[in-house]
């Protein structure tokens, strides 16, 4: 009886050890085995949200578990990025990180930087564009800039929150054109989608955001594109001239990728990177990106991490130009 009891205890201990290995990521067993959440720091309906939901569906099919999108907006992306950084580092909370991870801490809006994340993959880079209503009087960027010079303080710009990439794109544009950055007023919103609503409603005059985010309004003939802030014309919008073609030497844009909290086990990151690598290599992904006007830029974990560090340094200079930092 004593031997039988000892045997049963050994069996129970072995079962417990097996259970631990089965449920804990990082110990070599079945990750993932429950729902994954992807935090989107931007409002529903915008480009980042649309891309998040597409990738969540693809990741669900690839990993075989539910992948749920949660929009956590506010603080120029700081709320969502902060929530993602503070999540448990077990691979069950991903964050759709955007360029604002390189700006919100300089702005004092959130105590979160790229160092709080372990990068998985970058899959997108998008240039900003200059958008006006279809019935606006300006035919190109130079006509708009001339109007601003002649009427300082009259025009309202929008695109997202103050100090976000679309605001920084506007700041750099005006500076390169020799126009004071306060010659127009920036109207902050929670993202490109609400900014475009303001534009169509006549509440702002110009929106700077990616063409991907305004694709439906452009295709419907509601919005006119004066320029794209890229080095070359975008393949998805070959008819749109760049600022550089119009004599304004400025380019700016955003980027997007997935990351997990720092401290997430490397083997979990490997699972996610492997899955995402398969997704971004498909013709379906390329078609989705082309149809929606998203630029494709793939960087793996190490390269993406190095890129985020470089961006953190670069955009601080533009924030100083806009008077957001010292």
**Tens of pLDDT, residues 230-275:** 989 988 889 999 999 999 999 899 899 999 999 999 999 999 999 9
Predicted confidence band at 10 (pLDDT cuts at 50, 70, 90)?
low
Q: Which residue did the predictor score with more confidence, 302 or 26?
A: 302
**Is the Cβ–Cβ distance between 166 and 77 less than 8 Å?**
no
Helices and strands, counts by H and E, the chain: 10, 10
Predicted confidence band at 6 (pLDDT cuts at 50, 70, 90)?
low
Distance, in Å, from the CA atom of 43 to the CA atom of 154, rounded to the nearest integer, reads: 28
* CATH 3.40.190.10 residue window(s) in the chain: 127-252
Domain 32-126+254-321 CATH (choose: 3.40.50.1100, 3.30.70.580, 3.40.50.300, 3.40.190.150): 3.40.190.150
* Widest CA span in the chain: 98
Domain 127-252 CATH (choose: 3.40.190.10, 1.10.238.10, 1.20.1260.10, 3.40.50.880): 3.40.190.10
Q: Which residue did the predictor score with more confidence, 202 or 47?
A: 202
Write out the two tokens for 36.
């994954």
Q: What is the percentage of the chain residues whose pLDDT exceeds 90? A: 76
Distance, in Å, from the CA atom of 46 to the CA atom of 151, rounded to the nearest integer, reads: 31
Phi/psi for 256 (5° steps) reads -140, 150
* CATH 3.40.190.150 residue window(s) in the chain: 32-126+254-321
Q: Say whether 191 sits in a helix, a strand or coil.
A: coil
Write out the two tokens for 277.
């690598």
Averaged pLDDT, 174-187: 96
Averaged pLDDT, 307-325: 91
Residues in the chain: 326
């Amino acid at each position: 009886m004593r031997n039988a009891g000892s045997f049963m205890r050994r069996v129970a201990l072995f079962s417990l050890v097996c259970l631990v290995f089965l449920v804990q990521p990082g110990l070599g067993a079945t990750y993932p085995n429950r729902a994954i959440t992807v935090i989107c720091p931007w409002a529903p309906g915008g480009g980042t949200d649309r891309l998040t939901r597409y990738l969540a569906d693809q990741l669900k099919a690839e990993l075989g578990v539910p992948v749920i999108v949660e929009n956590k907006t506010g603080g120029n992306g700081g709320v969502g990025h902060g929530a993602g950084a503070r999540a448990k580092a077990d691979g069950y909370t991903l964050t759709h990180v955007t360029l604002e991870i390189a700006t919100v801490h300089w702005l004092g809006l959130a105590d979160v930087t790229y160092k709080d994340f372990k990068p998985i993959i970058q899959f997108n880079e998008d240039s900003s564009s200059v958008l006006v209503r279809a019935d606006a009087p300006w035919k190109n960027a130079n006509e708009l800039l001339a109007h601003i010079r002649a009427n300082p303080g009259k025009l309202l710009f929008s695109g997202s929150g103050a100090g976000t990439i679309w605001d920084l794109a506007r700041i750099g544009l005006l500076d390169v054109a020799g126009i004071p950055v306060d010659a127009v007023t920036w109207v902050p919103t929670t993202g490109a989608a609400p900014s475009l609503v303001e534009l169509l409603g006549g509440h702002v005059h110009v929106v700077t955001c990616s063409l991907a985010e305004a694709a439906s309004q452009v295709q419907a003939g509601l919005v006119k594109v004066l320029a794209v802030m890229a080095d070359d014309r975008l393949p998805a919008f070959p008819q749109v001239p760049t600022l550089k073609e119009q004599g304004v030497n400025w380019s700016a844009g955003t980027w997007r990728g997935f990351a997990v909290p720092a401290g997430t086990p490397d083997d979990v990151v490997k699972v996610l990177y492997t899955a995402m690598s398969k997704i971004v290599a498909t013709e379906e992904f390329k078609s989705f990106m082309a149809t929606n006007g998203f630029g494709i830029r793939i960087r793996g974990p190490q390269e993406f991490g190095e890129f985020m560090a470089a961006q953190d340094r670069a955009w601080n200079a533009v924030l100083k130009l806009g008077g957001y930092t010292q």
